[in-house]
């Protein structure tokens, strides 16, 4: 069974610019890559080195969960995202880098039941068909896009030549049923030229994925030197990498054929220079931030901040409206964001911090 530990006392809440209040709920020694809420009082988080932790928000008791598969924790790989099934709070889905014998690691999707401090009934639902010894760009975020299906992202693994190959999983968003089958309404389900699980293609390093209640589905991905993107995902969409990008090689030269081209989808917003977007979340429903409703929040790594983005819709087209920079006071690489059951914003960082953001007295 997993070990149980009492967390140390949290530091007092601190005021941040923008009228926000930040509370460090607890801290670990590893990158907190993904997290999700089991209930209003409990959260699960992944530590990239391969630990899954169950944490009680009130008692501060943490339990390490046993029963995980072996994780290939090398480079940027390890235990990645985790989501609690909204229809069955005892079931979780998670992505991780799995070892493929003699070929390195590949992004994988697994599911299991969580019972106390143990995972049971584990099943590996998917393993990418392009394993490599490279430790780069595994992705990977998970989102539930319907009551029966889920989608998750896979990065290019540093091997660009496979991204535009429709049968390769590099640089793709994948869509499966929740038991790992191919949905009959997948865009390439009946196409012999494509892997049938592919939903979209042409992505580089996609670490943010979120669906709004009106089905607006967006992906955040890192470019090379510049060209970080927010993309609105459409079935069959090709988002261009590495043929199209606003970024450059790290040593200077241009990449591909430019930034736009007929037949490819353009980002709804891009950042040059880079801010390295990671986890993203929509602000909706029950929230302590009513003035933020409808906004997309973007956690940033190299930017060490959070961006709040507003979009507008004219006819059938969405476009970028404005953005606001927040949380720079934390000076932290913000890896993931999620709205909590209490309406507050929760975040995790590469420094191991799990924190809560709420409105202060000066918030507007």
Is residue 364 very low, low, confident or very high in pLDDT (cuts 50, 70, 90)?
Answer: confident
Could you give the 3-state DSSP secondary structure of residue 201? strand
Average pLDDT over residues 28-32: 96
Is 137 an active-site residue?
yes
CA-angle at 136, arms to 113 and 260, nearest 5°: 105
What's the CATH code of the domain at 146? Answer: 2.120.10.30
Per-residue model confidence as pLDDT tens digits over 58-84: 999 999 999 999 999 999 999 999 999
Per-residue model confidence as pLDDT tens digits over 274-288: 999 999 999 999 999
For residue 102, the model assigns a pLDDT of: 86
For residue 5, the model assigns a pLDDT of: 65
For residue 309, the model assigns a pLDDT of: 98
Q: Tell whether 85 is covered by a domain.
A: yes
State the Cα–Cα distance between residues 81 and 144, nearest whole angstrom.
13
- The rounded mean pLDDT for the chain is 95
- Residue 298 pLDDT greater than 80, yes or no: yes
Whole-number Cα distances in Å, 270 to 48, 101, 138, 253, 356: 27, 38, 21, 19, 27
- Residue 4 pLDDT greater than 80, yes or no: no
Report phi then psi at 100, rounded to 5: -110, 120
Residue found under tokens 């880079």: 274
Q: Tell whether 305 is covered by a domain.
A: yes
Per-residue model confidence as pLDDT tens digits over 124-181: 999 999 899 999 999 999 999 999 999 999 999 999 999 999 999 999 999 999 999 9
Pairing of strands 14-16, 61-64: unpaired
Q: Tell whether 364 is covered by a domain.
A: no
Q: Tell whether 293 is covered by a domain.
A: yes
Q: Tell whether 222 is covered by a domain.
A: yes
Instruction: DSSP letter for 74, please.
Output: -
Per-residue model confidence as pLDDT tens digits over 95-120: 999 999 889 999 999 999 999 999 99
| Structural domain boundaries, residue 186 | 4-359
Q: In the structure encoding, which two tokens stand for residue 23, read together?
A: 């509370």
Among residues 137, 169, 203, 269, the one annotated as catalytic is 137
| Number of domains making up the chain | 1
């Amino acid at each position: 069974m997993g070990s149980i530990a009492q967390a140390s006392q949290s530091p007092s809440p601190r005021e941040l610019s923008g009228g926000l209040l930040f509370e460090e709920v607890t801290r670990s020694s590893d990158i907190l890559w993904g997290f999700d809420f089991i209930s209003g009082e409990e959260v699960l988080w992944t530590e990239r080195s391969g630990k899954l932790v169950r944490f009680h928000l009130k008692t501060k008791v943490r339990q390490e969960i046993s029963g995980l598969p072996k994780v290939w924790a090398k480079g940027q790989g390890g235990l990645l995202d985790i989501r609690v099934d909204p229809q069955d709070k005892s079931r979780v889905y998670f992505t991780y880098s799995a070892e493929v014998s003699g070929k390195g690691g590949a992004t994988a999707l697994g599911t299991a039941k969580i019972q106390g401090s143990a995972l049971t009934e584990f099943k590996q639902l998917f393993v990418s068909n392009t394993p490599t010894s490279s430790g780069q760009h595994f992705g990977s975020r998970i989102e539930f896009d319907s009551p029966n299906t889920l989608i998750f992202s896979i990065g290019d693994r540093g091997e660009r030549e496979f991204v535009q190959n429709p049968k390769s999983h590099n640089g793709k968003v994948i869509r499966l049923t929740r038991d790992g089958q191919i949905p009959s309404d997948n865009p390439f389900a009946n196409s012999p030229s494509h892997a049938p699980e592919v939903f979209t293609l042409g992505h580089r390093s996609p670490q943010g994925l979120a669906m709004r209640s009106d089905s607006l589905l967006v992906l955040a991905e890192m470019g090379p030197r510049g060209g970080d993107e927010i993309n609105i995902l459409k079935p069959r969409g090709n988002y261009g990498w590495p043929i199209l990008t606003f970024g450059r090689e790290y040593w200077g030269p241009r990449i591909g054929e430019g930034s736009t081209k007929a037949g490819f989808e353009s980002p709804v917003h891009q950042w040059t220079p880079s801010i390295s977007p990671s986890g993203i979340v929509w602000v909706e429903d029950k929230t302590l931030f009513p003035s933020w409703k409808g906004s997309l929040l973007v956690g940033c790594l190299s930017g060490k901040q959070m961006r709040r983005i507003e979009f507008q819709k004219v006819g059938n087209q969405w476009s970028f409206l404005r953005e606001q920079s927040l949380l720079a006071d934390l000076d932290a690489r913000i890896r993931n964001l999620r709205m909590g059951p209490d309406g507050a914003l929760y975040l995790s960082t590469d420094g191991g911090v799990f924190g809560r953001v709420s409105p202060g007295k000066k918030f507007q």
